[in-house]
């Protein structure tokens, strides 16, 4: 019983930390940037006046695809965290999409595990109105 309570507390703290990070746009972008770099995108600084002028014309936080000859290049402008551009090829973009899918799946599995943990919690001391308020009244 103590181990279950401890596990429930740890899951609740983890959910709270994740929720707070989700509320912070900079944290969300920073997590995305980590996935971009891990997927093979290259960090390109916006460090010249010419680059800055071009950078301002790009929609922030949106992937843009450009075809150069027989190659596809993906760019991701980030004015929020780094003020930079991430550049990658088709393989880097595919890797990124897979990493996002895997992360969502892992998050979903963690949420399901949390739901299963909460389902085994003893609701009896709280009364029937907490579990099913429709039938109580």
Domains of the chain by residue range: 25-109
> Own/partner pairs for 3-12, CB < 8 Å, 24+ apart?
4/117, 4/120, 7/117, 8/117, 8/118, 8/121, 11/113, 11/114, 11/117
Q: Mean pLDDT over residues 4-18, rounded?
A: 48
pLDDT in tens, 14-64: 454 555 455 566 677 678 889 999 999 999 999 999 999 999 999 999 999
**Residue 86 has what pLDDT?**
95
């Amino acid at each position: 019983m103590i181990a279950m309570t401890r596990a429930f507390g740890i899951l609740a703290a983890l959910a709270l930390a994740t929720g707070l990070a989700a509320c912070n746009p900079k944290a969300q972008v920073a997590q995305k940037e980590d996935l971009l770099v891990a997927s093979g995108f290259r960090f390109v600084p916006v460090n010249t006046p010419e680059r800055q002028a071009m950078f301002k014309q790009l929609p922030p936080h949106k992937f843009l695809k450009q075809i150069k000859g027989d190659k596809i290049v993906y760019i991701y402008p980030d004015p929020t965290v780094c003020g930079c551009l991430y550049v990658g090829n088709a393989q880097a973009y595919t890797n990124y999409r897979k990493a996002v899918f895997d992360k969502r799946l892992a998050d979903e599995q963690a949420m399901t595990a949390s739901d299963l943990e909460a389902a085994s919690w003893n609701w009896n001391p709280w009364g029937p109105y907490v579990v099913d308020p429709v039938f109580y009244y």
